[in-house]
Amino acid sequence: MTGTIIENLSGRKLAVLVTFLLLCQITCFLIGGLIAPTPANTQNILGTVCKDANKVKNDTSKWYYNRGKGSCEIIDLDDMHHDLSETDIVFAFQMPVPRQNQILDFSRWQQNLIGVLQMDIRYHSQMEVRPRSEVTIDARLAYRNKGDPEDSWQLYTQSIEKRHLDCEIEIKTEKYLYNCSAIPLFELGSLFHDFYLLNVRLPVDTPEMNSNIGHIQDMWLTVINQNGGFTKVWVSLKTAFFPCIIAILAWFWRRIYILERKPVLLERMLLSLGIALCVLNMPLEYFTLHFDLPFMLLLGDIRQGIFYAMLFSFWLVFAGEHMLIQNNPTQSSLKQYWKHLSAVAIGCISLFIFDMCERGVQLRNPFYSIWVTDIGTNLALTFIILAGISTGVYFLFLCYMIWQVFINISHKRQSLPTMCSVRRLHYEGIIYRFKFLMLATLLCAALTVIGFILGQVAEGQWKWDENIELEYTSAFFTGVYGMWNIYIFALLILYAPSHKHWPVAENTSDTQNLSEEIEFSRISGERTSSEISSLTSFIRKTTID
């Protein structure tokens, strides 16, 4: 038995396999581009100003809304003749907003809900907004489902939060509006109920509380949720890929198990990478259709982080196994890659800590945000910027390693003319196939890094209030996700141990060629007993003529 399937597979079979995988990759892009809608939806909701006539202002059983039975009394803040104090005003937001006179409801396929508050503050010479004003928000979130009475709102969560408000104005004239920063308000990890209601008060329990925020004319709430149609396509892809990767992983392990040797490092890394992909592929989103699972966002980040860590580590080892960076070239272990893998581990642990500080705390209080303080904002931006820089540096370093691999192979290739004809043709074919695989690895790494950076920026742009124009489509996400599965699927097939014996020549008229084939078969069998492929054996050891 010699080498791996990529070395011994016939050219015709290899062409059929590569063509099939390319068609699958094109299909993934087309599914995202032609079938899946945009990944996220946004709605801008104008707050209804309701009058609170109750003597008890913090009664959690009383809710204010503008549609349905028991709707509130609406007031106009532009009317200066009303006799109302700040404690009598409640801003109400009913979600979702009707469209074309049709009552809409949220779907559990939409997965999550993010709320960002925007204030319209009118300039008044007697009530100017101070820079970096602190606004105190008394927020309460309620829900109800289809079939419930229209006034049957149930408390979901409540909190009193402090946010910083940055406002500026070019022309200080009455009735002009300030240009104020957006305020991240809440994030729900699940969208289990059909309707939601947000009540916002601006308390004045002390003379300093909310005294420097000017005259608020309106409030807007921007809600962002994952598109239900995109979720269905995404989960369908997971459902299709999950059993395929499980099956090919079991087949790969069986191929290794029946060998007389222990798995080598690259085989162990491939097994670990396949397991990490299976964890990522598990369609756990089906559970959210029947259970309220607010931790799904955090769990999804953890699963993706494990996959990124395993994928980046595998690429380092994959390139390193063909670079002779080990101290002991005859035997490899993870200890020899500790410098490379420690950098990946530090990056992943840092992102995990950041995620726990944000979404971990939101499991207890959805109104919490790490972005509301200067220290938290700087820390969050530092994590995201460092993550983007680190992935970029990682990609450049991976390019350098692959370039070194090509140089290493080129140096070794100079010995090919001195070999026997059978060995020379064999190694030339392996080298061409390996170079093609390394270029595919480089392309996969580039798209992965781009996808990671786009995901971080797209997620954070609503929170750090920067107007960043990002044009990304569902085709990119489904294409990259399909690329991960197809790439790892191909690696598990091509780098599985081959059970093919090198045949003895049928035409024995040429005694020299026959002896060369027998000698090559004997040498190859000796070298690959402890190597995953004859290519690594060729690179690591001195060529035997």
- In 3D space, the residue among 282, 413, 294, 279 whose CA is nearest the CA of residue 361 turns out to be 294
Report the Cα 300 to chain-centroid distance in Å: 8
Give whichever of 76-80, 277-281, 311-315 has the largest mean pLDDT: 277-281
Of residues 100 and 116, more confidence is placed in 116
pLDDT band at 427; cut points 50, 70, 90: low
Q: How much is the pLDDT for 468?
A: 46
**Domains of the chain listed by start with CATH number:** 5-39+229-540 (1.20.1070), 41-225 (no CATH)
Q: How much is the pLDDT for 458?
A: 63
Q: How much is the pLDDT for 283?
A: 94
Query: Residue 392 above 50 pLDDT?
Result: yes
Q: Residue 484 contacts by C-beta under 8 Å, 6 or more apart in sequence?
A: 277, 280, 307, 311, 444, 448
In 528-541, which positions are buried (b, 16+ CB within 10 angstroms) versus exposed (e)? beebbbbbbbbbbe
Q: How much is the pLDDT for 144?
A: 93
> Which of helix, strand or coil describes residue 161?
strand
pLDDT band at 318; cut points 50, 70, 90: confident
Output phi, psi for 220, to 5 deg: -120, 140
Distance CA 135, CA 87 (A): 15
Average pLDDT over residues 458-482: 67
Q: Which strands, in side-by-side order, build the sheet including 195-201? A: 48-51, 89-95, 195-201, 133-144, 154-165
- Cα separations in angstroms, 160 against 51, 110, 299, 400: 20, 27, 27, 52
Q: How much is the pLDDT for 59?
A: 66
Average pLDDT over residues 402-422: 72
Q: How much is the pLDDT for 462?
A: 55
Write out the DSSP string of 278-347: HHHH--GGGGGGTS--TTHHHHHHHHHHHHHHHHHHHHHHHHHTTTT-SSSTT---GGGGHHHHHHHHHH
Q: How much is the pLDDT for 327?
A: 41
Q: How much is the pLDDT for 413?
A: 66
Average pLDDT over residues 143-151: 90
Write out the DSSP string of 498-543: P-PPPPPPS-TT-HHHHHHHHHHHHHHHHHTTSSS-HHHHHHHSPP
Question: What single DSSP character describes residue 417?
Answer: G
